[in-house]
Structure 1
């Protein structure tokens, strides 16, 4: 198995949780029992993705929403939002994954599981997130608000 497979498994569980958000931990346990993830490194990465996306879900959804241009997050395909959530998590909250890999993997997932429009959509949103958001996330993983970011930049001038 590989990180790519761990991402696919994480995408499947995030999609499932988006459709049926109740009893999250129970669904997660059942998912892992039905689809064991091996080797251990991949299982750890799967768990890191799930934990990270769920922990930062509010911030991730807010960031994605900024780049939808005339659409709301609720009007997007559930699978696209799940793919974008993994991509945004890897770009902003996981310093082990290079930018190019995070975007490329998300585009591959979009091409495989999304609609005809998913690939360019995911690529564009994550490109903008990388371009305009990445510098706002300090090492501790907390996202600064626009006002805090502006004050921080002014202090460095």
Structure 2
């Protein structure tokens, strides 16, 4: 499966998490993979690793997003856009094997497919600010 398609699954599961109770998370993930039985075990493991990484770093990711989305509180942001941004920021700052430009481009493509007409520009702007900021380097740790 392509990295783009795998990223779509990560985005979808992260988006769904916004609407589920924490104690239902594993059940929700299991059901998702039952419904997508075509996903190979290798890809499934990668998806699960990425979700775990995003969850581990969620607080720092959200702090970074809050800082660079002045006027947009995380709670009021579109859940679709928030999930896309979280995946991208995780890839930009916690995955050495994914160039920042690729993470940004893939986020824009997800926004074009799943969000509003304004979302690609919004996501590009936020991620561009984060990518070029010296302050953001502190979040890489």
Structure 1: gaps spanning 5 or more residues: 143-157
* Cα separation, partners in 2 of 1:130 and 1:36, compared to 1, 3 Å: farther
Aligned to 1:70, what secondary structure does the other structure show? Answer: coil
* Cα separation, partners in 2 of 1:10 and 1:137, compared to 1, 3 Å: same
Q: How far apart, in 2, do the equivalents of 1:32 and 1:125 lie?
A: 31
TM-score by length of 1: 0.81
Q: How far apart, in 1, do the equivalents of 2:17 and 2:38 lie?
A: 18
1:83 is displaced (CA, Å) by 0.2
Q: What count of residue pairs does the alignment treat as equivalent? A: 139
The match for 1:24 is 25
1:21 is displaced (CA, Å) by 3.4
Contact 1:88 1:126 in 2 (8 A): yes
Matches within 5 A, 1:29-108: 29-36=30-37, 38-108=39-109
Instruction: Indicate the structure (1 or 2) with the bigger Cα radius of gyration.
Output: 1
- Cα RMSD after superposing both structures: 1.6
2:17 pairs with 1:2: no
Greater than 4 Å deviation, 4+ residue runs: none
Structure 2: gaps spanning 5 or more residues: none
